Amino acid sequence: MIRFSFGAQRLASGLIAGAVLLSLAATPSQAAAKIQRLVSPGGIEAWFVQDATVPLIAMEYAFAGGAAQDPAGKPGVGNLVAGLLDEGSGDLDSKTFHERLERRAIELSFSSTRDTFRGSLRMLKDNKDEAFDLLQLALTSPHFNAADVERIRAQVLSGLRRDTTNPTSMASRKFLELAFGDHPYGRQGNGTLDSVPKIDVADMKDYVRRVIAKDTLRIAVVGDVDPDALGKLLDKTFGGLPAKASLTAIADVEATKPPQRAFVPLDVPQTVVTFGGPGVRRNDPNFMAAYVVNHILGGGGLSSRLYKEVREKRGLAYSVYESLLWMDRSALFIGNTGTRADRAGETVDAIEKEIRRIAEEGPTQKELDEAKSYLKGSQMLALDTSSKLAGALLQYQLDKLPIDYIEKRNAIVDAVTLDDAKKAAQRLWGQGLLTVIVGRAPQAAVQPAAAAPKAN
């Protein structure tokens, strides 16, 4: 069962998952007080919340690596592996494997993000033994049967072909190339029309051998299971994996210095604009100041400056947003909007004007207070399912945050001063923007799109 992960069409939204998770947390009374560090008899560690409210168990886990570990000439290997691990393993062919999942209402999936190879498992309490057994088979003895490989490859290629005429996909892909050049972060995580046909089973088996190992494994579990039973399940599932990964070293990289602009011609009525630049790493002491001021500029939905200037005042676009994104070896801010072809120039000018204004002046005290209030209050309303909480706890581990981060977070937000926010705004946006525009050429934008030929 193929699951596209980190496709170019999802860059502007999919890449912000970490940013979204930062603003989502469970209330301390319901989650933080119950988060425990569990270590199985075999030494497998997990962050665990025991919750018997409903008879469900959710587990999220990740191995270091992801798409950055794809061979230089073959981007998309990790994405294909993610699509094939549950297509038959052990003594079960693809059909039988999925029948067992469906019979027990077990949800199992894999994905390759930029820095991690991830998995998700969700099941009823009574089906936990079978669910963990199937996961263990998928991780340790995937078939990579020729027929399954070609079926999944065909699905990936079909998606990539659609991307070649999708302005959002094209803008996202070009933005990565502009920001990171030939660094692994500049490559497409789901591969290219040229690379995917060249990937063979040996490439996928080598990826599994190098990436899926215990030393980089991070696990979060939330649900109705006692610690002793969970420890045994973790040992049975992950205990047989190789002790150490064999990862290719990925160099730190700073995104290309703004300002730069790229235009990609495409004869479509609506022009897509993707903009961004160097961001702030998650371990930077000034990260929270940047996160708060970014909420003011483009992350606050209807209340953000960009929304008010571009949508409300000028009616240039239906939506516009901007987010902080962080990876293991770099960081970005990135935004996106779509507008009528003949108003693309005006839209870019409006975005650049607002970027310059906040870089030069910073936010107001009122804006800062409102942003902090929202960011603190939002955690009380979020993570209302075991799966969401497990996903957040996994992200906190990947971000190397303490296990009591949920309890500390509001104090960290509160500590951001107006001076901190102004400095963060200057740091983020003072140099201008990397901008990618996909659409009709300016001289053609005032003309209607060419009519499609009529069928005979």
DSSP string, 177-232: HHHHTTSGGGS-TT--TTTGGG--HHHHHHHHHHH--GGG-EEEEEES--HHHHHH
Confidence of residue 34 (pLDDT cuts 50, 70, 90): confident
Which has the minimum average pLDDT: 23-37, 178-192, 385-399? 23-37
Whether the predicted pLDDT of 7 surpasses 60: no
Give the global pTM: 0.88
Phi then psi for residue 116, to 5 deg, are -140, 150
Q: Give first-to-last CA distance, the chain, whole Å.
A: 39
Confidence of residue 27 (pLDDT cuts 50, 70, 90): very low
Confidence of residue 72 (pLDDT cuts 50, 70, 90): confident
Confidence of residue 14 (pLDDT cuts 50, 70, 90): very low
Tell me the pLDDT tens digit for each residue of 409-425.
999 999 999 999 999 99
- Give CA 103 to chain center in angstroms: 30
pLDDT of residue 354: 96
- Taken in order of first residue, the domains within the chain and their CATH numbers are 8-238 (3.30.830.10), 260-381+403-439 (3.30.830.10)
Rounded to whole angstroms, the Cα distance separating 338 from 62 reads: 34
pLDDT of residue 444: 52
**Helix, strand, coil share of the chain (percent; to 5):** 45, 20, 35
Other Cβ atoms closer than 10 A to 404: 13
pLDDT of residue 443: 57
Whether the predicted pLDDT of 21 surpasses 80: no
- What secondary structure letter does DSSP report for 77? H
pLDDT average, residue stretch 25-40: 65
Whether the predicted pLDDT of 111 surpasses 90: yes
